[in-house]
Amino acid sequence: MGVFVDIGRAAAMALFLASACGVAEAGTDNWRFDAGEDGLVSASLYATNKLFTGGGALGYSPILTIACRAGGEPGWTEWLQLNDAVSASRKITVSVTIDNDGKFDESWSVGARGRVLMRDGADGIRRLVPASRLLLSWRFGLLAGRGQADFDLAGFSEAVSQIAGNCKTDPP
């Protein structure tokens, strides 16, 4: 029962923050905006696919978040939120495909009990502004297999512009 109350509160807070951040722009309907007290302004998007946990009974969609911190370093960051932890402790190789234009590998940091993969810098955000699709793939562990998250980036450019405006900085 408590979990559903917390989810309900989170959903209500997300709706409030979305309206406070002006999410009424066209194209950003699938994005969830947040403005934290610590100056972090972010927009999050659920993957279009599901990953299945354990025995495959429960599924979840990874969440991609882009953010900037007003006056902070690094200015821009992106992260991938997972329910299942990866076994890496500091860095992990993530395969990236943007608009089916070929796959390349990047090193992402591992944080928050192995359930968050992060990459700092405006260059990662900049390359996604004109894109319509992002596919991320990674290994959960040596024997645990691969995870994959597929994102429809509709409204990405508008989300970046909105975040930049709230951070009082230029879009990447």
Number of domains in the chain: 1
Asked, for residue 108, whether it belongs to a domain, the answer is yes
In order of 4, 118, 125, the CA distances from 11 in angstroms are 10, 24, 26
CATH number at residue 68: 2.60.40.1880
Q: With beta carbons less than 8 A apart as the criterion, state whether 67 and 77 touch.
A: yes
pLDDT in tens, 16-75: 334 334 433 446 789 999 988 888 999 999 999 998 776 666 789 999 999 998 776 668
Asked, for residue 144, whether it belongs to a domain, the answer is yes
Range of the domain at 57: 2-167
pLDDT at 11 over 90: no
Asked, for residue 90, whether it belongs to a domain, the answer is yes
| Encoded amino acid at 47, one letter | A
Asked, for residue 172, whether it belongs to a domain, the answer is no
Asked, for residue 14, whether it belongs to a domain, the answer is yes
Distance in Å from the first CA to the final CA of the chain: 43
pLDDT in tens, 134-172: 999 998 887 778 899 999 999 999 999 999 999 888 898
Asked, for residue 138, whether it belongs to a domain, the answer is yes
Asked, for residue 100, whether it belongs to a domain, the answer is yes
